[in-house]
Amino acid sequence: MVYTGPDGEPLARQTSRTSSHGGRSPSLHQPGMSRRSSVSAGHPHGLKPVDTTQIGIPVVTPRKERPGHVRSLTGSYFPAQKGVVTMEDEWPIGDEKTWKTALKDLEFDHEDEQEVANTVVRHVTTSLARQAYNMDAIAAYQATALSVRDRLLERWNETALHHTKKAPKRVYYLSIEWLIGRSLDNAVLNLGMRNTYEGATQKLGFNFEDLLNEERDAGLGNGGLGRLAACYIDSMATLNIPGWGYGLRYNYGIFKQLISNSGEQLEAPDPWLDRENPWEIGRLDVAYPIRFYGRVESVPNSDKAVWTGGMECLAVAYDTPIPGFATKNCANIRLWSAKPVQGFDLNSFNAGNYEASVAASSEVENITRVLYPNDNMYAGKKLRIMQQYLWVSASLQDILRRFTKLDVPWSALPDYVCIQMNDTHPTLAIPELMRILIDEEELSYEDAWKITTKVFAYTNHTVLPEALERWQIDLFESLLPRHLQIIYRINYDFMQAVAKRWPGDMDRMRRMSIIEEGTPKYVRMAYLAIVGSFKVNGVAELHSQLLQATIFKDFVEFKGRDFFTNVTNGITPRRWLLQCNPQLAALITHTLGNDHWLTHLTALKQLLPMAEREEFRKAFTSIKLENKQRLADLVEAELGVTLDIESIFMTQIKRLHEYKRQTLNLFAVIYRYLRIKKASPEERKKITKHTSIFAGKAAPGYYVAKLVIRLINNVAKVVNNDPDVEDLLKVVFIPDYSVSIAEVLVPASDVSVQISTAGTEASGTSNMKLALNGALLLGTVDGANVEIAEDAGEDQSFLFGHLTEQVEGVRFTNSYQPTPLEQRSSELAEVFKAVESGTFGEGSTYDSLLKTVYEHDYYLVSNDFGSYLAAEKLMDETYDNNRTEWTKKSIVTAFNMGDFSSDRSVQDYADGIWSVEPCEVPGNL
């Protein structure tokens, strides 16, 4: 059978596989905790070929013969031979000399501004059908982006050819979020062509910085999960790790955050794709059939079953090339978009039933309209499961299509494929791989399970039991009946193994079961991920320790400690220093004499002695002030608030959640405001100037988190317009937080506010970005704060609050032996009285928010409030009394952040989990 490949290459596929071992021997280095460390005949995946001619999308279907050649949308030509392509093959089509001459003419001097300008103008006239006389900034951006994309595709094609030739083991990173931000600046920096494009566009009459601002952030993520994935794919490309990312292409992102006159968060669609996205390549030649609902029939004397009926749709691929830094290697993020098999019912339309004519199309396209549909309702839960299944099924079909061209047995799959699951969202990939191997490839259940459990690795991102994903059985069964059967079998075998180890321990079996008993029953996705993986990792040292000691303790006892490991999160210094803080990057490069540090971030330690040199401190301070002014200009333009750049810029930028405790920060702001109002003229002179900056989105159905946003905005309205306050305190909430906004906020921040309740934050990455740019840490002993404080030196950080081991005891007291708020914190009681009295709007509006502290106070806001104020006071004294010492601390913090590079994280994964080697594309850059 033949399948169209990602580059248009026809790929040989065997209809059956033996289960004997073949190919390379597995080499899975698994150290302990590191520091960072009925089926239609003929279709291989159980779905009958579907007619997509009505919508113009060719589905991947079998052919009787391989064609002599095939042309790819990206311009690559592959020889029509079975197996692995080599560079020495006979030229596949047409006259070789003509082809090579034409390809040669595509080459140009990457440092020649005129040649770059020529490519931009060519795209203006031929791709956009515009002329110089009607070319605006949007057209200039799009043409420039298309020109850069041409350069990316050159490397993308070379990488694909090289990897096809070498057939290395590949990593596939499955993440439901990809918060890649804007692509133009990052691409030209990684290509080493920033100056050339800046000069070329200048000659064409456009400021390159203005063109950068024309680009919209890609609406593919929300928070740290998606940004981590984006950093990792950047590092995989830079380290020449053969790998791809897989995700979903959301038409409207998560939502565009608006703020009403009353301070409330409003959600609007984020139409980020309204303008054509120049960075993606629509792969209409790569489309896979996906089934929902239906019925399952067993096959006698076989593990195999037949899944038929229900609803079919297509997952269509869109590729985004991701260039590595200082390498020809180019990775890829393949995103799936849901499309109907038949998009328009002409018979219904002609009968006057216009809604019915497009009903099926709308139901399917809803699957990839938005990220994280509101799951407070049944329809939202259903849509989330459909999203996750379409994504993992299409991704697996694509991965296995690539594997089967190698012509090795299925038992060799773990030698060539490692799938990293970024949180529990892709866990359906485990039963889906089992379904494909058993039902379509006709392997036994036992052989399929041996293969599956050597392919998947799982990254956990939470220690909160309530945050572990689970799906109600009746909903799950209606959508994916065959997968529930497979999960039941997996759980049965697992429970048998647990019972054999601990006979009669029914409590343990209930705790560890993938199926949560009760009314209703649930599938526990995290447990399925553990049972179906060969390795599980946490994302910070403390987090990994807590996982093993708390929510996964039973699994540690069953699997052993070596099954669990740690890989501390990281960030890419190319975006989070070179791109967002180019002046500081230039100072570092100038002082070191080279830019080697951009791929070896620990080289920054060589600059630690510079903290003692006055000239360097002045340069460092000057850069910080310029970045603060840039942020102040943005705030004034967008919010009409004037900021004093000599004040401390305290930044808390992250999604809104009670455990992240934006409330603790906000209540301290209110307390400071009340102090200012009471202060005498002499006392006012001693008050440190503060600018408190908040940004982040609350989930549409998260009422309390949305109340926090409302209160922040109403506090800001009062404080910023109170003449008594003047410039002693400013409060701003920057709406619609995004990567591009973070790129302005991060370099401008003096203080990184990381104040989650101890034991609740898995790691965090905003703390790393801020620290790398010299922001001092004001935080709890939680997540990666611990390692940041260790590396920077605790003298550079302001830590406070109860420790993890104390939290449960305090919670018990708050819940079962509560004391009045005045006894827990008289300062916080004063703050609450101000809120309730209507100082910041109708007091009763915030009753539900204040009640979370009055009653139970699960996140210890009242218990940590006094400690937080004390840490702030120490911070103020350092800033006011010894600015030189503050600058030294800032420099020492920044240059001790080398271990928090995503390059280090990815190398830890490659060595300790994935067992992959670099596969560098040869040739000069």
Residues with catalytic roles: 461, 654-655, 660, 765, 769
Is-contact 490 514, C-beta < 8 A? yes
Shortest CA distance to 370 belongs to which of 386, 354, 358? 386
Q: How far is CA 472 from the centre of its chain?
A: 26
Strand order, beta sheet including 751-754? 729-734, 690-695, 648-653, 751-754, 776-780, 798-800
Distances (CA, A) of 128 to 125, 139, 514, 873: 6, 7, 53, 57
Listing DSSP states for 203-245 in one string gives HTT--HHHHHHHSPPPSS--SHHHHHHHHHHHHHHHTT--EEE
Q: What is the DSSP letter of 90?
A: P
Any idea what DSSP says for residue 26? Answer: P
The residue ranges of DSSP E strands in 345-486, in sequence order, are 417-422, 456-459, 470-472
User: Under DSSP, is residue 649 helix (H, G, I), strand (E, B) or coil?
Assistant: strand
Q: For residues 457 and 865, what is the distance between their CA atoms, to the nearest angstrom?
A: 40
Please report which residue ranges of 721-837 form alpha helices under DSSP H.
739-748, 766-772, 785-792, 804-816, 821-824, 826-836
Instruction: Give the pair of three-digit tokens for residue 658.
Output: 């009670």
Report the amino acid identity of residue 557: E
Which residue, among 276, 256, 279, has the nearest Cα to 183 in the 3D structure? 279
DSSP 586: H
CA distance to 398, 434, 633, 636, 913, per residue, from 454 (Å): 19, 12, 53, 54, 11
Q: Is-contact 537 35, C-beta < 8 A?
A: no
Contacts of 800-805 spanning 24+ positions with Cβ under 8 A: 800/864, 800/867, 800/868, 800/870, 800/871, 801/755, 801/757, 801/758, 801/860, 801/864, 801/867, 801/868, 802/758, 802/860, 802/863, 802/864, 802/867, 803/758, 804/542, 804/546, 804/758, 804/759
Closest CA to 204 of 324, 267, 119: 119
Judge contact between 393 and 432, C-beta under 8 A: yes
> What's the token pair of residue 460?
């956990």
The side-by-side arrangement of strands in the sheet containing 522-524 is: 470-472, 522-524, 515-516
H/E segment holding residue 583: helix 582-592
Number of residues written out for the chain: 925
Tell me if 682 sits within 8 A of 762, measured CB to CB.
no
The residue among 185, 206, 204 whose CA lies nearest residue 138 is: 206
Quick check: 851 and 798 in contact, CB under 8 A? no
- 893 three-state secondary structure: helix
Q: Which residues pair with 4 in a beta bridge?
A: 10
SS3 string of 514-574?
CEECCCCCEEEHHHHHHHCCCEEEECCHHHHHHHHHCCCHHHHHHHCHHHEEECCCCECHH
Q: Phi, psi at residue 429, to the nearest 5°? A: -60, -30
Say if CB 15 and CB 1 are below 8 A apart. yes
DSSP code, position 843:
G
CA max distance for the chain: 90
Distance CA 380, CA 903 (A): 37
At which residue do the structure tokens 């070319």 appear?
135
